[in-house]
Every structure is written in C-alpha cells, then in structure tokens.
Amino acid sequence: MPDDLNSIALWWGPGILVLLIFGYGVLRLAHHWIEKSMDVKREQTESAFRVARDYIEQFLSAQQSQAEALSRLASSVEQRDSHESFEHQEMLIALKAMHRDIAELPCRGPAECPRPPEVPSRE
C-alpha cells in the first residue's frame, strides 16, 4: 500500500498544487474586480448626489434672490407715493394675479399641488 500512495502522490500532487495556485489567483482577481466595480458605483452615486445638491443650492439661491427682490419692491412701495411707487403697486397686483392663476391650475391629484394658505391682500 505505501507504494501505491507514493505513486498517487507523485502523479496527482503537482496537479493539485497547480490547481490550488490557479484557484487562489482567480479568487484574488474576482476580489479585485468586485472592489473596482464597487468603487465605480460609489463614485457614480456621489456624483449624482453632488449634482442634486448643486441643483438644490442653485434653486434655493434663486428663490432667496426673488424673495429679497420682492421684499425690496414691497418696501419701496410702502415708503413713497411717486410714479415708481404706482408702477411697483401695479407689478405687485400682477404678481398676485399670476400667483392666483397658477394656484387655480388643475392638478392630477391633491398630493401633486396642495393649495397654499390664502394670503390676505392689501388692496
């Protein structure tokens, strides 16, 4: 029996050793490929979040600028009774009318465009 065992080890030993080395290499290659694909996915996600954040920041900045402009317009209307003041009052009336018209546009459902609370008019 020991002669059989020696011949089996002599014939199959190097093949199994090569198979183990090849399996280890394939395992390392798969691990590297999975890491790279996860890095790409993470970069894509971060890029999408960065684009969304920039868009939201720009939108909020534009909203803030519009609010400041309307505040300055309203304060200039309240301060003086000149020709410009009357023009500004007409602009404010037009803005209120546009807001009312936009609020009355039909919606597909109540969740899509809930009605804002009514603002008392100064007219």
Residue 19: predicted pLDDT:
92
DSSP 106: -
Global pTM reads 0.44
pLDDT per residue over 41-73, tens digit each?
Answer: 999 999 999 999 999 989 888 888 887 777 777
- Nearest CA to 70 out of 92, 52, 49 is that of 92
Rounded to the nearest integer, the mean pLDDT of the chain is 78
Q: Is 56 helix (H, G, I), strand (E, B) or coil?
A: helix
Q: To which residue do tokens 């008019």 refer?
A: 121
Q: Where are the chain's structural domains?
A: 1-32, 66-102
Share of the chain above pLDDT 90, in %: 32
Q: Which helix (H) or strand (E) holds 44?
A: helix 2-79
